[in-house]
Each structure stands twice: as structure tokens, then as C-alpha cells.
Amino acid sequence: MSGCCGHDAQFDGVSADYKRRLWIVIAINAAMFAVEMTAGHMARSQALQADALDFFADALTYGISLAVIGASLRTRSLAAMAKGISLLVMGLWVFGATAYRVFTVGVPTAEVMGIIGLMALGANLLSVLLLMRYKDGDANVRSVWLCSRNDAIGNVAVMIAALGVWGTATGWPDLIVAGIMAGLFLSSAVQIIRQSMAERKQEAAHRHHA
């Protein structure tokens, strides 16, 4: 975390501009979840479906973040903890689903993967630009940024997977990318949970000294 390191006070989301940006990003992510999950199912792409789940996680994350803006540090850290745990569960699910597909592997439709991946990348780059100035903050705000970053990385990975599927005529590139994305979910979950726990300790220390 750059910018906020070394400061006692972190941005907690209490900003009309930040809230407006979150509403826009929620709409973008909800729409792309529906588009990408449908396309992923039709194209038999595990990577597309994993990326669609990331869109769903983002929409959920932003909704929770809006709900707890202005709440106590304890409430915001608990919300971030819940989001971190949900990311952890989702990452484990994607790992499990990908492992299952290894034994029932089919060849996804590379053209659909590429087109939808490009659409999703555009949507996520817009989201990242909207949230860039607020990427550093408390665990609640930080979780919003991490989910946005995950999506942009995931979209690039899906497009690489599409090229791999097209070039090799096998489903392995799709499964490999899905596994990498699951690892990204787990890594972000650990970061969010760790910061949330640190903020809970900070809040408890302040109450003890009050």
C-alpha cells in the first residue's frame, strides 16, 4: 500500500464523489457478470466463468462498501473480513472446478473467449480509472481496489487463454488461466483479511486507551 503507509488516518470512503463512482462501477460489474457467465457457459470456458465470478464479487464488494461507508472502524473491518472470506471461498471453488475440468476437459470456443474478454477488459479499465484515485485507504476501500485490479488482470489472462486455445486446439490454456485467477482470488483474500485483522486490533487498542 503506497500513499497511506505511515499515516494514522486512512481514507474511509466518506466522499460523495467516491460513492458516485462506486454506483457506476456496480452497474458495470453487474452487467458484465451476466454477459460473461452466459458466454462462458456457451463457450465451455472455465476461465470466462471464473472471470464472471470476479465481476460478481466486485458488485457484491462495492455494494457492501457503500453500505458501511461512514460506519465505525470495527464495522468496516468486519465488512472487509466478510469480503475477504468470500474471495477465499470463491478462489477455492474455482480451483476445485478447474481440477474437475482437468479430467473432463473439452475445447472452449476461442473466438467467444476473445471477444468477451475484450469487452470485459474495456469495462474493467473504465472501473479501474474511476477508482484509481481511491486505491489506498482502509481495508474496506482497499478491498474495492483489489477487486477492480483482479478483474483487469483476469481479462488480459482470458484473452491470452483464448489465443492459447486457438493456437493449441486444446482446453489446457483455459484451465491454466482459471487456476492462476483462482490463485489471485486467494492472494487478495489474504491481503484483505490481514488488513482487516490489523484494523480490528487498532480499534480495540483505541478503545482500551480511551
Q: Where are the domains of the chain?
A: 16-209
Cβ–Cβ < 8 Å for 141, 80: no
* pLDDT at site 6: 32
In the block, cell 464472471 appears at 52
* pLDDT at site 101: 65
160 closest CA partner among 172, 148, 145, 147: 172
32 vs 106, more confident: 32
| % residues pLDDT > 70 (the chain) | 86
Query: Looking at domain 16-209, which CATH architecture does it have?
Result: Up-down Bundle (1.20)
Q: What is the pLDDT of residues 45-76, one digit of tens each?
A: 877 887 788 788 778 878 887 888 777 777 87
Least confidently predicted of 84-88, 146-150, 199-203: 146-150
Q: How far apart are CA 175 and CA 47, in angstroms?
A: 7
> Taking each helix axis from N to C terminus, what angle separates 139-168 and 46-68, rounded to the nearest 10 degrees?
170
Q: What is the pLDDT of residues 162-193, one digit of tens each?
A: 888 888 877 788 788 788 878 877 887 888 88
Cell numbers for 59, please give them.
Answer: 458488485
Residues 6+ apart with CB under 8 A from 85: 189, 193
Cβ–Cβ < 8 Å for 81, 1: no
Cβ–Cβ < 8 Å for 20, 133: no
In the block, cell 460523495 appears at 16
pTM listed for this prediction? 0.65
| % residues pLDDT > 90 (the chain) | 5
Q: How far apart are CA 2 and CA 129, in angstroms?
A: 17
How many angstroms separate the Cα of 195 from the Cα of each of 84, 145, 175, 204? 10, 14, 31, 14
